[in-house]
Amino acid sequence: MEPSKYPLLAREGWGHIGYALSAALAVNWIGGFWWALPLWLIVAFVLQFFRDPPRVIPADPNAVVCPADGQVIAVDEVEDPYLKRPARRISIFMNVFNVHSNRMPVAGTVKERWYHKGSFFNAALDKAARENERNALWIKTEDGRDVVVVQVAGLIARRILCYVLPGATVSRGERYGFIRFGSRVDIYLPLESKPAVSLGDKTRGGSQIAAHLLQ
């Protein structure tokens, strides 16, 4: 999708923004600005949380783009819990001040989707990937590589939104979901992939390359 076609505010936040703005305007009209100030601060927070800026998607066909804004909290080799294979994992933690739109790391076909109910531990903890509420997608690229991307709920996140189903054809950097109020996204890649980010790096979903799928 062209960057200009993305809304500046995520549609998932329109209701929250409307409620917050209505409450602030009502209290401002009845009691004045200073009484309404805490509500205006809430409006500002909600606006920044649900912002959805356009991103320019890298053209490199072997690029795996970051699925989320945030901070890299893991770059390691683990057992992929979905495809039961050795895999290279890249984990990105989103705090409440990050953009929370989730984007496809690669182009391909969605082969399977798994949803698991679970706990709500701090998403930065490693056990969150195993025990928290999560939604996983298995994507097979056009050249047959398997990539799994997992939305993981966090300590205060209470809703994972995912808009694609098995059989869907997806594009790299395409917006496919949203997690409300703090969370993480994990990518499980083939072992031969080469990470392009390091532990502690700040990421930009959709426009920054997380790894390369080597030929």
Cα 147 to Cα 107: distance, rounded to the nearest angstrom: 10
| Residue 183 a catalytic site member | yes
Q: Give the residue among 163, 178, 168, 162 at the shortest CA–CA distance from 102.
A: 178
Amino acid at 156: I
Q: Which residues, including other chains, have CB under 8 Å from residue 166's CB and lie 6 or more apart? A: 110, 111, 112, 113
Q: If you count them, how many residues does the chain have?
A: 215
Q: Which of 183, 193, 198, 207 is catalytic?
A: 183
Residue 182, φ and ψ in degrees, nearest 5: 90, 130
* Residues forming the active site: 183
